[in-house]
């Protein structure tokens, strides 16, 4: 086996296992953040018997498999979603790492190679935030502005990293700016032109659409879609153009469908749609920002 291939394979396995561990932490975030609880303190426990879980109960993915999806202490079923999120995170981490296996850093390599290696970690952190966001919205039909802030902070770190390679700074800024402007333009059209809600009128008038106004957009009941829109802007800027192309094409379509269809029918899945399209973008169009 070629030494470089072996090195890349071992690093990919490392990132996959690292993803499983991070996925276990993401489960904690998904469960606690909507409740306003801390994610850095407290012990994990069985949701049925409240027994504190030990180290052998918390091995990502494998504990659930070996325990056959049941609590070691009370025998109650453990939701498979915990293992699925851990497995998904591990798979995403391994897949992104393998695609960017040329980024794996070797001692003595150029500064540009180290920058790419660090940027890979930032990309994986971005993927983790998107997983948390999509699951919180799916579970609770609500978004959190704090997750958009997290995405923006990760992009800021990537931007700071670009100053170590000044030749890469301008392409990163242009890519991010283009992604942000494209997303902002599409959202502006949706907010000001797309009909907002149907209004029941007398039979002779038929069903007419009430125009979506800025005031209606900022109404309290529309907070979830606003948080998702802000996340859309943050993601489009963070992954940049052309990586944002799938987001720019797919998210607005479902955004309009969500407005035109039954009330809130698609709302819980908007985070999933955004995360999936962003993942497609960084896979199909790598290398400018990530």
Q: How far apart are CA 240 and CA 181, in angstroms?
A: 10
User: Which is nearest to 282 in space by CA: 253, 241, 232, 227?
Assistant: 241
Mean pLDDT, contiguous 10-residue spans, the chain (290 residues): 88 96 95 88 75 77 83 84 95 97 84 90 98 95 93 97 90 97 94 56 43 68 90 98 97 84 77 97 94
User: Which is nearest to 243 in space by CA: 200, 182, 184?
Assistant: 182
| Res 194: pLDDT | 61
The 8-class DSSP code of residue 52 comes to: B
| Res 58: pLDDT | 77
Question: What is the residue extent of each domain of the chain?
Answer: 1-104, 111-290
| Res 176: pLDDT | 97
| Res 201: pLDDT | 39
Q: How far apart are CA 284 and CA 261, in angstroms?
A: 30
| Res 3: pLDDT | 87
Q: How far apart are CA 113 and CA 109, in angstroms?
A: 6
| Res 113: pLDDT | 87
Burial, 271: exposed, middle or buried (Cβ in 10 Å; 0-12, 13-18, 19+)? buried
The pTM assigned to this predicted structure is 0.89
């Amino acid at each position: 086996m070629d030494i470089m291939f072996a090195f890349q394979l071992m690093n990919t396995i490392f990132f996959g296992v690292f993803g499983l561990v991070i996925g276990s932490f993401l489960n904690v975030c998904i469960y606690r953040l909507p409740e306003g609880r801390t994610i850095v303190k407290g012990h994990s426990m069985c949701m049925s018997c409240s027994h504190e879980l030990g180290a052998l109960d918390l091995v990502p993915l494998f504990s659930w498999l070996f325990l056959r999806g049941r609590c070691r202490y009370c025998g109650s079923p453990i939701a498979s979603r915990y293992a699925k999120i851990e497995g998904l995170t591990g798979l995403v981490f391994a897949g992104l790492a393998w695609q960017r296996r040329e980024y794996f850093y070797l001692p003595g390599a150029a500064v540009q190679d180290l920058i790419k290696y660090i940027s890979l970690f930032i990309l994986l952190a971005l993927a983790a935030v998107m997983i948390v966001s999509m699951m919180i919205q799916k579970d609770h039909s609500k978004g959190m502005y704090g997750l958009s802030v997290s995405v923006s902070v990760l992009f800021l770190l990537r931007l700071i990293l670009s100053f170590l390679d000044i030749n890469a700074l301008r392409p990163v800024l242009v890519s991010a700016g283009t992604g942000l402007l494209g997303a902002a333009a599409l959202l502006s059209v949706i907010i000001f032109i797309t009909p907002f809600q149907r209004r029941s009128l007398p039979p002779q008038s038929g069903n007419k659409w009430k125009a979506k106004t800025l005031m209606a957009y900022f109404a309290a009941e529309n907070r979830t879609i606003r948080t998702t829109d802000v996340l859309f802007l943050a993601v489009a800027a963070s992954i940049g153009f052309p990586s944002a192309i799938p987001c720019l094409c797919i998210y607005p379509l479902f955004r309009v469908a969500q407005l035109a269809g039954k009330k809130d029918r698609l709302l819980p899945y908007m985070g999933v749609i955004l995360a999936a399209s962003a993942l497609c973008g960084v896979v199909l169009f790598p290398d400018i920002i990530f």
